[in-house]
Amino acid sequence: MNNTFYSEILTEHNLHPFHKHDIKDPNMVLEGVNPSCGDDIILQLHVDEAGIITDGGYVGDGCAISQASADMMLDLVIGRSKEEALHLSDIFMRMIKDPDSLSEDEMDELEESSSLQNIAHMPSRVKCAVLGWHTMEEMFKGEDEEE
């Protein structure tokens, strides 16, 4: 993916984030913080009885990468089951840690989020890119531990 496309997607999600707002009646809320740079998001999801993410949003402050990545993540997971969301998160994390390990089909599953694959070559920005995804994983992990 070329750098121009990456920049356009990142800019679009920063200037016009679709999911950066409080949602009505979230039933899952978790704050995610990147202590190394101060990025801070509060991820809010509404998950129905069938385990489908029916709505999501985030609020907080952070760099362009953390904010855009959270927005792209929500684009991808709303309307999907928790299991599907965790599957996509696994692909995203592997893309960031070892981009060469993914198949073309897996990259396609990530849709716009795949534009962040070059973050793997910027170690200081990896925590920014994974903040929203990691927060979602922790949210679901915490829910499983409560059951």
Phi, psi of 23 (to 5 degrees): -100, 160
pLDDT at 5: 57
pLDDT at 142: 81
The residues that bridge with 28 in the sheet, in sequence order, are: 45
Q: How far are the Cα atoms of 5, 27, 54, 97 from residue 127, in angstroms, in the given order? A: 21, 26, 27, 11
Confidence of residue 1 (pLDDT cuts 50, 70, 90): very low
Query: Is the pLDDT score of 103 beyond 60?
Result: yes
Lowest mean pLDDT among 63-67, 90-94, 140-144: 140-144
* pLDDT averaged over every residue in the chain: 91
Confidence of residue 129 (pLDDT cuts 50, 70, 90): very high
Please report the beta strands in 5-129, taking only residues with DSSP state E, as ranges in sequence order: 28-34, 39-47, 53-61
CATH number assigned to the domain covering 8-142: 3.90.1010.10
Amino acid, single-letter form, for residue 24: K
| Structure tokens that stand for 22 in this block | 């409080």
Per the CB < 8 A criterion, the answer to whether 118 and 1 are in contact is yes
pLDDT at 2: 54
Distance between CA atoms of residues 39 and 33, nearest Å: 6
Average pLDDT over residues 109-126: 88
Counting DSSP H helices and E strands in the chain, the numbers are 5, 3
Degrees to nearest 5, angle at CA 60 with 129 and 82: 60
Domain boundaries, the chain: 8-142
pLDDT digits (tens, 9 = 90+) for 3-58: 665 678 888 888 899 999 999 999 999 999 998 888 999 999 999 999 999 999 99
At 53 the three-state DSSP class reads strand
- Which residue would you say has higher pLDDT here, 138 or 36? 138
